[in-house]
Copies of this chain bind each other. A is one copy, B any other.
Amino acid sequence: MKFEIISIGNELLSGRTLNSNLQTICQKLTDIGCNVSRSYVIRDDPAEISHTLNLCISSDSDWIIISGGLGPTFDDMTLSCISSALNLPLEINDIALEMIIARYTDLVKKNIIESFSLTDSRKKMSMLPKNSIPLKNNVGTAPGVLIKYENKNIICLPGVPKEMESILINEVLPTIDTSKINKIKSKVLYVAGITESELAPIINDFISNRNNLYIKSHPKGISNGVYHIELVISFQSNDFSDSLINSTIKDLITSIKIKTNITVDE
């Protein structure tokens, strides 16, 4: 099952905001065995949003997750762009409208606002592309949105990290059928006293006669006069039992330690 992620927001491309949402979404999906195939970061611009959406629609992904652009302001235009690109007219979604009314009613109860009326800015958050399914936002106001289009699930989440994460965890992840996914298990080794260029041929030899095993090295620089490298070893869990993983790690450590002066820690 393949996922593409679109992060929308000028602040992500001006460098003002670190795109922690992308990491959160990728982590949560990886944890349940899903695979993020690529990601786009784009501006609050209708042409950019439509162009990127069309790239995703015509790709081989099963899910498109979009974060940002669901709020009440003029530059929150994710849903209107989806509406145009997929030819699904925007209309008031009654369930979304109820969610928004419930949110403001609650804010009045808690004395955070004195009263509220359904202004255009507020109604805007309930204007969803035809046949959308609203996703409850327990942290903020704008509901998330699920749109089933051809064979794809398109998910729209707010850009505010806490709201995004709440909807992702409570409303999106439980709907993903992970029963047929070939999960990945990862182990990390910390290697010291060898340069990445010396380690590279050892890793190459090691993986060359083993299938469904991927080893990525992350150089961590020199500290106390010694090179440090993090090795992430990923196994397709259907092909590797826990005991096979352990013996493979042991073999890898032995292969690396053939060179002297190296420490390898799990």
Contacts and interface: CB of A to CB of B under 8 A. Distances in A.
B15 A26 contact: yes
Interface stretch (A88-96, A172-180, A198-206): A198-206
B72 A141 contact: no
A74 B203 contact: yes
Contact of A29 (B15, B24, B25, B28): B15
Contact of A23 (B19, B43, B75): B19
Contact of A72 (B41, B72, B196): B196
A233 B90 CA distance: 30
A120 interface: yes
A182 interface: no
A148 B36 CA distance: 32
Given A72-B200, A197-B121, A22 B19 contact: yes
A26 B14 contact: yes
Contacts of A28: 15
A195 interface: yes
Given A11-B218, A11-B232, A197-B72, A41 B42 contact: no
A201 B121 contact: yes
Contacts of A18: 18, 20, 23
A99 to B, nearest CB: 14
Contact of A73 (B121, B160, B203): B203
A250 interface: no
A65 B220 CA distance: 22
A200 B15 contact: no
A120 B216 CA distance: 18
A30 B15 contact: yes
A187 B13 CA distance: 17
A73 B196 contact: yes
B140 A219 contact: yes
A107 B222 CA distance: 10
A113 interface: yes
A29 B15 CA distance: 9
Interface of A: 10-20, 22-30, 36-44, 48, 52, 55, 71-75, 107, 110-113, 119-122, 125, 139-141, 160, 162, 195-201, 203-204, 214, 216-219, 221-222, 225-227, 232
